[in-house]
Amino acid sequence: MVLEKLRNISNRIINPIAMKFQGSRVSPNIITEIGLFFMIAASVSTAIVGFFALSAWFLLFTTTFLFCSGVMDLLDGGVAKVTGQKTKFGGVLDSTCDRYADAFFIFGLVFGNYLNPPSYIVSSNMAFTWGVILGFIGLIGAYMTSYVRSRAEIEGVTMKGVGLIERGERLIIFFVGICLEILFPGYSIMFYLFLVLVILMHVTAFQRIHHAYKTLKPIDDAAQGRAREEKSE
């Protein structure tokens, strides 16, 4: 996983900032919610710029909101760790807000027409429909990468670092895609990036399923063997 290689670097940057929150009334949960607010703002700005065909430079608002959301996504965990406020509910809230954030931004891309295939692939009157379909498949991929990991970890499978891509990488791709849309408008860059992202997300889900299968199969085989032995006695 690409982001794991950068996590030590980000921790060295985030942890000193997180230390400043000791004794503050700003809890990690509040930071998580602020991060979701920034992602909603990024989604709305993306949808407005694309839907009304405004200048691509207005997407600078989107890049700013995406950057702030990414910082909040790193900061909430850092604050929870260094201030001793890490809770089980905080993990549930963080995961839930991440899923909402994914959905909102994909909706923003869809309604901003950024996922519409170019005219040489499909006719213009069908482009939005195919953009919705692509967004829906992408949303499934985003949810399944997270769901398979969570479900496997419930069964005791270590999933850290398994798979090509997860949410951190998705945010980076979204950020890079929007920047490229600003620099090179009209080239369907986000469509192609998102198409690659969709493939990577579903590959990641299957990688995690395979990893869970390899880990759990010996345990299941042993349990079934014991069951057969008890039945034969």
User: What does the DSSP 8-state code read for residue 117?
Assistant: P
Catalytic residue among 76, 98, 220, 221: 98
- 98 is known as an active-site residue: yes
CA dihedral 149, 154, 159, 165 (to 10 degrees): 10
CA atoms within 13 A on the CB side of 28: 25
Cα 49 to Cα 108: distance, rounded to the nearest angstrom: 10
Number of H helices, E strands in the chain: 7, 0
Q: Are 92 and 34 spatial neighbours (Cβ–Cβ below 8 Å)?
A: no
Chain-centroid distance, C-alpha 154: 20
Q: Which residues are catalytic?
A: 98
